[in-house]
Structure 1
Amino acid sequence: MSTVADAHLRTPRLHGPGLSVGAARTVFLDDHVHALLLVDDGVLVAVVERGDLVGVPAGARARSVGRLAGRVAGPDDDLEATREAMASRRQRRLAVVDAGGRLLGLLCLKRHGRGFCSAADVAARDAERRAAG
Structure 2
Amino acid sequence: MSAAAPTVAEVMLRRPTRHTADITVGAARAALEESPKFHLLLLVHDGVLVGTLDDGDLAAHADEASPARDLASRDGRTVGPAAPADPVRQDMRTTGIRRLAVVDEGMRLLGLLCLTASGSGFCTDDGVDEIRRARRSD
Band the TM-score falls in, shorter-chain normalisation: over 0.9
- 1:82-121 → structure 2 map (5 Å cutoff): 82-121=88-127
Cα distance in structure 1, aligned partners of 2:21 and 2:38: 18
Deviation at 1:123, TM superposition (A): 1.1
Deviation at 1:131, TM superposition (A): 2.0
Deviation at 1:126, TM superposition (A): 1.1
Residue 45 (1) aligns with residue 50 (2): yes
Deviation at 1:39, TM superposition (A): 0.5
Deviation at 1:108, TM superposition (A): 0.6
- Tell me what 1:15 maps to: 19
The answer for unaligned runs of 5 or more in structure 2 is none
The answer for unaligned runs of 5 or more in structure 1 is none
Count of residues paired in the alignment: 132
Cα distance in structure 1, aligned partners of 2:67 and 2:26: 9
Which amino acid in the other structure matches residue 59 of structure 2? V
- Tell me what 2:87 maps to: 81
Deviation at 1:54, TM superposition (A): 1.1
Residue 35 (1) aligns with residue 40 (2): yes
> Residue deviations 1:77-110, cap 9 Å, x none?
1101100111111111000000111000001100
Cα distance in structure 2, aligned partners of 1:60 and 1:26: 14
User: Matched residues, percent identical?
Assistant: 42
Alignment RMSD (CA, Å) = 0.8
Cα distance in structure 1, aligned partners of 2:37 and 2:82: 26
Please report the TM-score for the alignment, with normalisation by the length of structure 1: 0.96
Please report the TM-score for the alignment, with normalisation by the length of structure 2: 0.93
Cα distance in structure 1, aligned partners of 2:93 and 2:64: 31
